[in-house]
Amino acid sequence: MSSDSAAFDEYYDQYKVTVYGNLFVGIVYGVYIVLYVTSVHILLRKPDFTSSRPRMSMFGITTFMFVLGIIALVIETALLFQEIQAVFRFLFDLPTPGNLWSEHHINVALAVKATATRLMAVQYILSDIVCAWRAVVLWNRDKRVIAILLLFILGTTAAAGCELGLSLVPVFNSDLPYYSPAAAGLRGTVNFGPLIMVGPTLGTNLLSTGLIAWKAWLHRITIRKYLSEGSGSARVERVFALLIESGFIYCCLWILYLISAFNLIPSPGFPVMNHVLLFVSGLYPTLIIILVAMQKSPVEYYSTHSTGMQFARGPAIRSPNAGDRSGYVYTIRRE
């Protein structure tokens, strides 16, 4: 009887984790829906939407990530119903622990989890690409910046493949136990599988945010030195601050995810973070795309072909306190 009680406690804990995860996912996805609808509305109102490849790309990436989020939400809901059924089978049918979940149910759960992991991997990779893109545009597509960020994105892709492989192993080898990040967190063990994604993804976002912060600092120095400060420059600085702050918050969420994986946050911290971070990874680049599409972002100033503003390497400037150095000046172009 004690073994039955232990089995029930384990499945009930899994059920609670899924409920908590879906609750937070529902809140985050509600915000995600608002941001997605806003981004689509802004993009479709642009007169040159159909002739602008960057805006078409923004729309395609945003929509694709939103659809992935819907599919992942359906999968999470299916898992919730499956766990509810397992609890009710135990309460009313009183099965033995050995047949609490049939082999069919276990295989379905494994297949669902593998699909969810694959979706997570694509979502994280797309999120990193959007975050790296804003830094690349702000740095005028500097080859060194592209090379470094591309290296991190390739690392994220490789890590996603490793994580997917870990999740698929039990599907093809029935001798191995059911792999569950939520269960690992509840048992108090360190879940190393998803941690593979943390390094390259966190590195990509930290580097992108750092590059944007550096460009914001150069922007502020140049404005003060060569141009008068007006409402336009103040607006660009405010959006620079938004990009930096949002990037910092996103990096903090990944650090919190890393801490929760080592069970330094009370249960069910890691399982809930594992549910929510997938949708946050889609919400974050959508917010960036909104800022860019509203033409209030410095990214727009650097990438637009109608009225643009970009940093150009100016002639050497002689400073009384330093040797020769290259200065940044603004070039305004209208095409």
DSSP sequence for 24-84: HHHHHHHHHHHHHHHHHHHHHH-TTTTT-HHHHHHHHHHHHHHHHHHHHHHHHHHHHHHHH
Burial 129-167 (b: 16+ CB within 10 A, else e): bbbbbbbbbbbeeeeebeebbeebbebbbebbeebbebb
Helix, strand, coil percentages (3-state) for the chain, rounded to 5, are: 75, 10, 15
Total of domains in the chain? 1
Note the pTM of the prediction, 2 decimals: 0.68
Has residue 23 been placed in a domain? yes
pLDDT digits (tens, 9 = 90+) for 109-153: 656 666 665 666 788 888 888 888 888 888 888 899 999 999 999
pLDDT at 87: 63
Residue 182 lies in a domain: yes
Residue 330 belongs to a domain: no
Decide if 312 is inside a domain.
Answer: no
Q: Alpha-carbon distance 113 to 119, whole Å?
A: 10
Q: What is residue 313's predicted lDDT score, i.e. its pLDDT?
A: 42
In a domain, 228, yes or no: yes
Q: How far is CA 123 from CA 25, 190, 311, in A?
A: 15, 24, 32
Could you tell me if residue 241 is inside a domain?
yes
The parent domain of residue 107 ranges over 2-305
CATH of the domain at 145: 1.20.1070
Comparing CA positions, the residue from 163, 128, 123 lying closest to residue 148 is 128
Residue 331 lies in a domain: no
Looking at residue 230, its pLDDT comes to 54
In-domain check, residue 332: no
pLDDT of residue 188: 45
The residues of the chain scoring below 70 in pLDDT are: 1-18, 20-21, 82-120, 166-194, 225-235, 263-271, 292-335
